[in-house]
Amino acid sequence: MADLTGYGVGNDAVFGQALILNGENSALVTSLKTLSKDESICRLKIAFDVVESDYKVAIEDSKDSTLKDILSAQLSLITDPELAEAILASIELGKSLPDAIESAIQEFSSLLLGASAEFEERIADLKEFETRLIEAAAGQSSNVNFPIDGEWIVVSNDLSPLITSRITPAVKGVVTRDGGPTSHTAIVCRQLKIPAIVGCGDISKIVNNQILTLDPANGAVHLGQVHIKNKAPWWANLPPQEKIIFRALGNVGSVADALLVSSSQAVGVGLLRTELLFLDYDYEPSVEEQFSIYSKIVSNCPSGDIVFRTLDAGSDKPIPFLGLSGEENPALGVRGQRVSWVNPKFFENQLHAIRRVATSSPEFQISLMAPMISTLEEATRFSSSALEAGFKSVGIMIEVPSIVEEITKLPDSINFLSIGTNDLSQYLFAADRQNSAVAHLLDPWQPALLQTISRICKLSKSRELKVGVCGEAASDPLLAVVLVGLGVDSLSAGAGSVADLVAISQILDQNLAESAAFLALAAGSASEARSAVRNLLTPSK
Amino acid sequence: MEVKVAVGLHARPAAQFSEIAKKAGYPVKVGRSVDNLVSAASPLRLLTLKVQQGEMILVVCETLDETSAKEVLDNLESCIKD
């Protein structure tokens, strides 16, 4: 029996020590509440020593003199004996360690209120001390520096892309409270080939440093070490086919992805994400700078087709230099290609930079596509800009349901479509990708999603448009078979899943794919669709 | 003495101020009036005074050594100068 369940990412079971990331963790606080008075005092002394030395190290390491000054001022505040005395006095009065820290900080914070913003801002420093002291008292490190040795399972409410990008090879798995199968955490973990269980809900029963076993195939987290056998995949026993019926491609967002996709025998890159490269840019990169970044990635891609996608940002995937302001509902706001419409200069520069890469690397066939196109007008506007910049092969992503019925009217200059199943589900089912409470609606096996994909393929056939899928759906081997049966010509999976996709492309024949698609379309629910196809492809179980 | 530094007796000036007070070797107290004094060696307490630029503060050196008190007061004054 699993102790926690969520949506599994990946196939292989892993185990490791829990590394709890969130500063404010109720489990930490609870563990400290039960300490005796003497233990509390002892832990408090240790905590002050740890935090003091953390600050000293940070001061020594910082190269910026302003930062050094700020850190020094903070150090003098936290080492102020009055703070320690106030906490000790509360402990003497019978308060638990976390309560004593909280009330002392609260006392000083309230004294800072009411004068001017400068003084009130210091309350944030005090709050930070509170978090750091509690973490240090519980023996936990405060900085998000992942360990480089050992085997760890990172446990967190959610992982921001920036934090996920710092993950080291010592991180063997990830468990999050929030997020569904298409949350950014799930996507990045699939990409990095790190098994994850996302959207577990209550993660407070996990204690720091305890051993956890993740069984992503069953979406299960076990407290403690559990032996789980990783079975040989179903396709391993099928005979190779002479005729390959779909193209297996990889999604790339970094040089590391490009190398992984190259090593997998993929025949190209179905999605080159450009936004991930600029997540921490606070200035707009020049054409020159973009050219050099893109070239570096392209030179590591497998030779063949590469589909560049123009910047797909939004207030939910913010890029500092775009200065996008917060929105009530980012998923329905200025997002995807809409960002390029309001930043015409950046859009123009990006097309130039990508075009230069195409010219200087003729061994790759580079095409261009736009994310989140909603109207025929937008499609036409995008394809004209692309043609003007010199692109021969131009496509749009099908993510917004409104564009589906316009497919037959698309301009001739558009040669391909790429279905982004994650966003298409989000907009089709009116379900927020970041909200785990509606994650079941975003299951890529939902028959209505598959019907829509089938419709897209039929409409495209009449125009001889090639259709690809570059969403997470392509990373599920069973679903990949269904998609091909529905008429999809190419599948592009996360770098971590491409090898499976390549293997499937070598054994899949048209009849099998069509039977799988027929079963999935006929099913009454996502889980029925999944089990019907699983029974077809893995008859033994 | 008058606090001239632009941000008032804020984080960094408070840190420097308390460093000097700590080294005095006897209690140094600060406040707006005699009945509202805090230890000058405590940067946190200094902050909670919320002293802004242009305000006058009272500094009391609890010692009989006038030369030393004068030196400490001079040093304190120089760190809250503009």
Residues of chain B positioned with their CB less than 8 A from the CB of A114: 50
In a domain, A232, yes or no: no
Residue of A nearest to B39 (CA): A82
Contact A69 B12 (CB under 8 A): yes
Read off the pLDDT of residues A163-192 as tens digits, 9 standing for 90 and up. Answer: 665 677 889 999 998 877 767 678 778 777
What's residue A33's pLDDT?
A: 82
Distances (CA, A) of A281 to A206, A284, A355, B25, B54: 35, 7, 22, 50, 41
Read off the pLDDT of residues B28-78 as tens digits, 9 standing for 90 and up. Answer: 999 888 888 889 999 989 888 888 888 888 888 888 888 888 888 888 888
Per-residue pLDDT for A541 more than 70? no
Q: Pick from A137, A162, A191: which residue ends a domain?
A: A137
The reply to whether A125 and A69 lie within a common domain is yes
Q: How is chain B split into domains, by residue range? A: 11-79
What's residue B5's pLDDT?
A: 63
In a domain, A72, yes or no: yes
Interface A-B: count of C-beta contacts within 8 A: 57
CB-based contact A281:A323 (threshold 8 Å): no
Give CA–CA dist B41/B23, Å, rounded: 9
CATH number at residue A207: 3.50.30.10
Confidence bin at A259 (pLDDT 50/70/90): confident
A470 noted as active-site residue: yes
Q: How far is B64 from chain A (nearest CA, A)?
A: 26
Across chain A, mean pLDDT equals 88
Contact B11 A74 (CB under 8 A): yes
Instruction: End-to-end CA distance of chain A: give it in Å, rounded.
Output: 20
CB-based contact A493:A252 (threshold 8 Å): no
Per-residue pLDDT for B82 more than 90? no
CB-based contact A30:A462 (threshold 8 Å): no
Residue of B nearest to A120 (CA): B50
Residue of B nearest to A80 (CA): B42
CB-based contact A265:A247 (threshold 8 Å): no
Per-residue pLDDT for A144 more than 80? no
**DSSP-derived 3-state class of residue A207:** coil
Percent of all residues in chain A with a pLDDT value above 70, rounded to a whole number = 93
Distances (CA, A) of A88 to A37, A54, A212, A249: 10, 22, 36, 61
The reply to whether A212 and A246 lie within a common domain is no
User: Strand A152-156 and strand A171-176: pairing?
Assistant: parallel
User: Which of A68, A76, A83 should be substituted to probe chain B, the one whose Cβ sees the most B Cβ atoms within 10 Å?
Assistant: A76
Read off the pLDDT of residues A362-396 as tens digits, 9 standing for 90 and up. Answer: 999 999 999 999 999 999 999 999 999 999 999 99
Q: What are phi and psi of A18, to 5 degrees?
A: -70, 135
Instruction: End-to-end CA distance of chain B: give it in Å, rounded.
Output: 13
Per-residue pLDDT for B3 more than 90? no
Contact B7 A81 (CB under 8 A): no
Give the one of A69, A77, A115 whose C-beta lies nearest to B44's C-beta: A77
Give the lowest-confidence range in A36-50, A51-65, A133-147: A133-147
Read off the pLDDT of residues A85-118 as tens digits, 9 standing for 90 and up. Answer: 999 999 999 889 989 999 999 888 888 887 776 6
Read off the pLDDT of residues A33-49 as tens digits, 9 standing for 90 and up. Answer: 888 888 889 889 988 98
The reply to whether A89 and A154 lie within a common domain is no
- Tell me which residue range forms the domain holding A266: 242-537
Tokens linked to A337: 């290609």
Instruction: Using CB atoms within 10 Å of the CB of residue A508, give its burial: 0 to 12 exposed, 13 to 18 middle, 19+ buried.
Output: buried
The reply to whether A324 and A394 lie within a common domain is yes
What's residue A533's pLDDT?
A: 94
CB-based contact B23:B71 (threshold 8 Å): no
Read off the pLDDT of residues A480-526 as tens digits, 9 standing for 90 and up. Answer: 999 999 999 999 998 878 989 999 999 999 999 999 999 999 999 99
User: Which one of the listed residues A184, A189, A200, A457 is annotated catalytic?
Assistant: A184
The reply to whether A341 and A318 lie within a common domain is yes
In a domain, A231, yes or no: no
The reply to whether A124 and A152 lie within a common domain is no
What's residue A490's pLDDT?
A: 97
Per-residue pLDDT for A26 more than 80? no
Contact A112 B42 (CB under 8 A): no
Q: How far is A414 from chain B (nearest CA, A)?
A: 60
Read off the pLDDT of residues A208-254 as tens digits, 9 standing for 90 and up. Answer: 888 899 999 888 999 988 887 766 788 888 889 999 999 999 999 88
In a domain, A86, yes or no: yes
Residues of chain B positioned with their CB less than 8 A from the CB of A118: 7-8, 10
Q: Pick from A195, A223, A251: which residue ends a domain?
A: A223
Residues of chain A positioned with their CB less than 8 A from the CB of B48: 108, 111-112
CATH number at residue A523: 3.20.20.60
A200 noted as active-site residue: no
User: Which of A65, A69, A80, A126 should be substituted to probe chain B, the one whose Cβ sees the most B Cβ atoms within 10 Å?
Assistant: A80
Q: Which CATH number fits domain B11-79: 3.40.50.10310, 3.40.50.300, 3.30.1340.10, 3.30.930.10?
A: 3.30.1340.10
The reply to whether A172 and A301 lie within a common domain is no
Per-residue pLDDT for A145 more than 80? no
Read off the pLDDT of residues A406-457 as tens digits, 9 standing for 90 and up. Answer: 999 999 999 999 999 999 999 999 999 888 789 899 999 999 999 999 999 9
Give CA–CA dist A330/A267, Å, rounded: 35
Chain A residue set in contact with B, beta carbons under 8 Å: 69-70, 72-74, 76-77, 80-83, 108, 111-112, 114-116, 118-119, 122, 125
What's residue A64's pLDDT?
A: 59
Looking at per-residue pLDDT, the higher value among A245 and A60 belongs to: A245
Structural domains counted in chain A: 3
Looking at per-residue pLDDT, the higher value among B9 and A173 belongs to: A173
- ipTM of the assembly? 0.84
Residues 39-58 of B with CB under 8 A from A: 39, 42-45, 47-48, 50, 52
Q: Which of A393, A394, B81, A262 is nearest to B20 (CA)?
A: B81
Read off the pLDDT of residues A302-350 as tens digits, 9 standing for 90 and up. Answer: 989 999 999 999 877 788 888 888 888 889 999 999 999 999 999 999 9
Residue of B nearest to A104 (CA): B44
The answer, for B8 touching chain A at a CB cutoff of 8 Å, is: yes
Looking at per-residue pLDDT, the higher value among A197 and B15 belongs to: A197
Q: Pick from A103, A137, A171: which residue ends a domain?
A: A137
